[in-house]
Amino acid sequence: MLPSKLAKAALPAALLCLAVAAHAQATSGTTTAGSSASTTTTTSTKSSSAKSSSKGQLDHSDRKFVEEAAKGGMAEVELGQLASQRAQSPDVKQFAQRMVTDHGKANDQLKQVASSKGVELPSGTDKSTQRKMDKLQKLQGAEFDKAYMNDMVKDHKKDVKDFQKQAKSAKDPDVKNFAAQTLPTLQEHLQMAEAAQKSAKGEAKSAKGK
């Protein structure tokens, strides 16, 4: 009879132990899952933060190209506006009008690229362009045409070289694409500039002969 009573007494204790063990296991599972979720969330947050911090960043050479291209583009537009009003030669006047139209469009495209990369472009022309403007405003007729076209040939030779380099080696795909798409237009401008330069030189000689 005694063993039977002991067995009955031990049964509730055993059930209690099982219940405690089950509770402990469940609590442990919840803690592990919570810890795992927390770790996942932290990792995800760090990854998102890293992507955010890297977005819009340009390599130094790409950034410099974008800034210089913006300065050059604005200069071509301002000088073109002046030349379209003051040029004597029809070829020079036509070239100047193309500068205003084509570089105006390219400038708008470059602004979009720069904005997406977090690059702040200059709001106005630089001192070098202002010196050119001051020099040209003192000239007129054939002498104006000759000086303007000499500057345009020089500038576009440099532009073509710079854009060729970036079209091949720019690290940012958007900057590289902009350079590649704009390059053919600049090459056409150079050909036009060289032709108009010859015309302007001929007119300048004729004016002196008179």
Find all residues with CB under 8 Å of 113, minimum gap 6, and list them. 66, 174, 175, 178
CATH number (domain holding residue 113): 1.20.1260.10
Find all residues with CB under 8 Å of 145, minimum gap 6, and list them. 87, 88, 89, 92, 196, 199, 200, 203, 204
Are 150 and 196 within one domain? yes
Find all residues with CB under 8 Å of 129, minimum gap 6, and list them. 71, 74, 75, 78, 79
For the chain, 210 residues long, give each residue's pLDDT as a single digit of tens. 444 444 444 444 544 444 445 555 555 554 444 455 454 444 444 444 333 334 458 889 999 999 999 999 999 999 999 999 999 999 999 999 999 999 999 999 999 999 999 999 988 878 889 999 999 999 999 999 999 999 999 999 999 999 999 999 999 999 999 999 999 999 999 999 999 999 888 777 776 666
Structural domain boundaries, residue 51: 1-55
Are 87 and 163 within one domain? yes
pLDDT of residue 23: 52
Which tens digits make up the pLDDT trace of 129-156?
A: 999 999 999 999 999 999 999 999 999 9
pTM for the full predicted model? 0.71
Are 48 and 99 within one domain? no
